Amino acid sequence: QKEVEQNSGPLSVPEGAIASLNCTYSDRGSQSFFWYRQYSGKSPELIMFIYSNGDKEDGRFTAQLNKASQYVSLLIRDSQPSDSATYLCAVNILYNFNKFYFGSGTKLNVKP
C-alpha cells in the first residue's frame, strides 16, 4: 500500500509568518514529489516539485526533501491570507510513472 500522510490541520499562522507543511511517504521507491494548492471547490494547482534531497526555492515557497527519513515539506514565507487553502502532497513512484499518490491535504489558515 502506497501511503502518503499529511496532518489534516487546520494549521493557523498569522500573516507574515512562516507556514511549515509536512508530508511523509511509505514507499522508498518514490521518485518525484509535488506540492499542490487546492482552494475550496477548485482543482489542485501545482506549486512546486522536487526530486533531489535538499531544498528547492521558488519565490516565497521552499520545498525540502529528505529521502532517508521519507519526508517532504513545504515552507511558505511571509504567509498571506490568500495562501489559505488545502495543500496536497503527491508522490510518484519510480517504477510506476502512470500515477501519483496524494495525501489527504493540510488545511492552512493565514490570519490577517
Tell me the closest approach of the beta carbon of residue 90 to another protein, in angstroms.
8
Q: Residues 6 or more apart from 3 whose CB is under 8 A from it?
A: 25, 26, 27, 101
Q: How many CB atoms lie within 10 A of CB 31?
A: 14
Residue 9 carries which side chain, given as an amino acid letter?
G
- Read out DSSP for 95-109? TEEEEEEE---EEEE
Nearer to another protein, 25 or 100 (CB): 100
Nearer to another protein, 24 or 103 (CB): 103
How many whole angstroms separate alpha carbon 106 and alpha carbon 79?
15
Nearer to another protein, 45 or 55 (CB): 45
Nearer to another protein, 19 or 101 (CB): 101
Tell me the closest approach of the beta carbon of residue 98 to another protein, in angstroms.
4
Handedness of CA 19, 85, 61, 44 (dihedral sign): positive
Tell me the closest approach of the beta carbon of residue 15 to another protein, in angstroms.
27
Chain residues binding another protein by CB under 8 A are 31-32, 34, 42-46, 49, 51, 88, 90, 92, 96-105
Tell me the closest approach of the beta carbon of residue 16 to another protein, in angstroms.
29
